[in-house]
Structure 1
């Protein structure tokens, strides 16, 4: 099993990608091999003793976060992202992982690896924690503008993916909307609701934003613009709540005393709600495995993205 990592992608590249690769190797079975793709002169200083199952692939260029996705993928053929995706296309790697420009990662998947026959748009699928365990939201940011038919396509891909990853048979599909009633929403969501009702999917119906942390449906379908905002809002609220709890606890002796009894439970809860533990977002619909990690990913998040990519290949 070989995973190519875009070592130059992300806000803290290449350090977090290199350290994440090391973590992934420590957690994985012996059959995992990682190729760090990028400027080797910038990569080598961060590797003390290079393990035999980490290889380096030199590239001379990098796609920045603020660059136009499609133009940069077409123009920068020796960038770390493009080369990593090309390795999957040519069979040199089984999957690639990138914390770089999300639009460029999507474009690389489309232009280099290509779509699965019959798929119009690939979708970024992200797991998020809920009261019932976890749910899958897609699209999480790959497509800001969608047609109703795309949302149906996302629902079908998400159902297949979740079935294979979790064993859930006929996972429930919810359409993210501004109300539960079928008459709610704009033209896009009204049409999507109509089409989803006619499929053989386990369509739950509309779900609202408040339903997401409850895990009302196994899968939440929406356009990438809405999905990305919803996902980051949940992450921000979770982080803010824990910071407020910490601040309130530290205000008094009684609070600090009570915290000693709750510390273990709070740590477990924080770990379960930490988005880093859910790996990256696989790009469903391309003819290969590509995983998008958050630009500010820590080494732990990168490691879990690599492991998620390896699991998707298996």
Structure 2
């Protein structure tokens, strides 16, 4: 079986080079893949100049508009810019002209477009944006990280259900532990939302609910999945990104301050490179918008070619796993 994936070639900080080159890398890695690059044909073809590729597996679909990162209203932009690379890719998924799509573009527009243009899986109350934190042997999946700033308890229950199905398919863990992101481990801790949803999660027999989990314990592998509202999740995500960048820059600055540090830095260079890779969100590639009736993968806005290739591979694995079909069969409406 082959997989057809639409790639937003105009989205992201390093577009169009990163999406185009990432697509070529992915095509070289997977024989069962066909990619359609969406964007300005002339711009895309310029990036492809001098590169070898199979024209039967790589197609270009011309679009005339781009959803910019600085859009004042991302939701409005996806409505107005109907011929943008992002919007057309989503319509391809809805109309079954593509099995899935990948974009490193405007997150708000992607979230709005996925709901408006692709649609939700029947029974799903709200889609959730997930992020895989690089923790230990397997990542810790956190959701929601920005799609739903205000959540009802039933949303979080469905986030837990969907992410458990996804984690089993993606990482082979039969019963992933689900934690409720909170300010303390005790069951009575938190705000009105977490206090109400805690007993609801505990009563879900299909979930391996591990109780409350604090943010500091996520990197120790306390749980495989942490659920929260999009407000808390987005703050967590941005804090992790900022802290990782600060730690790496501080280490670099400290090492360069003395001869001893420079010598030690040279000896540790391979290990530091491995550490940087583990902390880099692009090492995971992209993460799916769970609950959408199609494979919609959000790549990091700063993704370069390797990260985009990983995101396309992630989309392919998502399609292989049949996660959406399992969600539709097993979801419970509260």
In the superposition, the TM-score normalised over structure 2's length comes to: 0.89
Q: How far off is 1:117 after superposition?
A: 0.9
Q: How far off is 1:204 after superposition?
A: 0.7
Deviation per CA, 1:243-282: give whole Å up to 9, x if none: 2122212222222222333222222222222211101120
Q: In the superposition, relative to structure 1, how do residues 211 and 132 fare at CA in structure 2: closer, same or farther (>3 Å)?
A: farther
State the alpha-carbon separation in 1 of the partners of residues 280 and 77 from structure 2.
Answer: 32
Superposition misfits of 4+ residues, deviation over 6 angstroms: none
State the alpha-carbon separation in 1 of the partners of residues 241 and 80 from structure 2.
Answer: 35
State the alpha-carbon separation in 1 of the partners of residues 191 and 178 from structure 2.
Answer: 19
Q: How far off is 1:208 after superposition?
A: 0.9
The equivalent position to 2:18 in structure 1, one of 16, 19, 25, is 16
Structure 2 residue 110 is the aligned partner of structure 1 residue 105: yes
Q: In the superposition, relative to structure 1, how do residues 312 and 241 fare at CA in structure 2: closer, same or farther (>3 Å)?
A: same
**Aligned twin of 2:298:** 292
Q: How far off is 1:292 after superposition?
A: 0.9
8 Å CA contact retained: 2:282, 2:300: no
State the alpha-carbon separation in 1 of the partners of residues 281 and 74 from structure 2.
Answer: 25
Structure 2 residue 98 is the aligned partner of structure 1 residue 87: no
**Aligned twin of 2:307:** 301
Q: How far off is 1:114 after superposition?
A: 1.2
Q: How far off is 1:132 after superposition?
A: 4.5
8 Å CA contact retained: 1:279, 1:304: yes
The residue matched to 1:96 in structure 2 has which SS? Answer: strand
Q: How far off is 1:78 after superposition?
A: 1.4
Q: Unaligned regions of 5+ residues in structure 2, if any? A: 321-334
Q: How far off is 1:46 after superposition?
A: 1.2
State the alpha-carbon separation in 1 of the partners of residues 265 and 79 from structure 2.
Answer: 54
Deviation per CA, 1:103-150: give whole Å up to 9, x if none: 221222212221111101011121111135311111122112211111
The equivalent position to 1:211 in structure 2, one of 213, 217, 239, is 217
Q: Unaligned regions of 5+ residues in structure 1, if any? A: none
State the alpha-carbon separation in 2 of the partners of residues 83 and 67 from structure 1.
Answer: 20
8 Å CA contact retained: 2:281, 2:300: no
Structure 2 residue 64 is the aligned partner of structure 1 residue 63: no
State the alpha-carbon separation in 1 of the partners of residues 264 and 83 from structure 2.
Answer: 56
Q: How many residues were matched structurally?
A: 313
State the alpha-carbon separation in 2 of the partners of residues 141 and 100 from structure 1.
Answer: 15
Q: In the superposition, relative to structure 1, how do residues 68 and 249 fare at CA in structure 2: closer, same or farther (>3 Å)?
A: same
**Aligned twin of 2:80:** 75
8 Å CA contact retained: 1:137, 1:220: yes
Q: How far off is 1:50 after superposition?
A: 5.8
The equivalent position to 1:180 in structure 2, one of 185, 205, 227, is 185
Deviation per CA, 1:47-67: give whole Å up to 9, x if none: 113622211001111222224
In the superposition, the TM-score normalised over structure 1's length comes to: 0.95
8 Å CA contact retained: 1:132, 1:214: no
**Aligned twin of 1:41:** 42
State the alpha-carbon separation in 2 of the partners of residues 74 and 135 from structure 1.
Answer: 34
Structure 2 residue 125 is the aligned partner of structure 1 residue 140: no
8 Å CA contact retained: 1:38, 1:58: yes
Q: How far off is 1:21 after superposition?
A: 1.6
